[in-house]
Amino acid sequence: MKLIMEHAFIRFNRNAMLGQLIENSLQDKGLMVEETMELESLEAISGMAAANLEVRIVPPTCVRSPNPAPVKRITLGKNAPVGQLILIHCSDNPRVRVIMILHATILEAISIGRLDVAESNVE
């Protein structure tokens, strides 16, 4: 946590759920950061950190990036915030077939650790 407090900090958008989780975690740990900017994209934040410009907090992803940024990763400890992706729909939605294909594709991407966009389940 010393690293976060000693370097300039790139904040993820506080209006997004992930940004709120990060903000709450910082507050719970009593960490004061020197904020330099607030960005909307995890990729942009990782790119800035890869260029040694700042320190940032982004979650580990369950699907690998095809071009991961070469950054040092540290943990926030055993009480680090955890996020979940939830897909909710009405059973009578006229697009239920597309929603079910999306659901299956997400589950497959998570199980293998990558999203293969070359293949398509849509007929």
> Mind listing the pLDDT tens digit for each residue in 49-87?
777 666 666 666 666 666 666 667 677 777 777 767 778
Query: Two tokens at 37?
Result: 């900017």
- Confidence (pLDDT) at 48: 74
Beta bridge partners of 35: 9
Ranked by mean pLDDT, the top range of 65-69, 83-87, 93-97, 118-122 is 93-97
User: φ, ψ for residue 112 (rounded to 5)?
Assistant: -100, -10
pLDDT at 50: 72
Both tokens assigned to 60: 């580990």
φ, ψ (nearest 5 deg) of residue 55: -115, 140
Which residues partner with 8 through β-bridges? Answer: 34
Backbone angles phi, psi at 12, to 5 degrees: -80, 145
For residues 21, 116, 109, 92, the Cα torsion angle rounded to the nearest 10 degrees is 90
Percent of the residues in the chain that have a pLDDT greater than 90, as a whole number:
3
Structural domains of the chain ordered from first start? 1-80 (3.40.190), 85-123 (no CATH)
DSSP letter for each residue of 44-93: HHHHHHHTTS-EE-----SS--SS----------TT-----------TT-
pLDDT at residue 4 greater than cutoff 70: yes
Q: What tokens does 101 get? A: 């294909």
- Structure confidence at residue 111 (pLDDT): 80
| Predicted model pTM | 0.56
- The reported pLDDT for the residue numbered 120 is 46
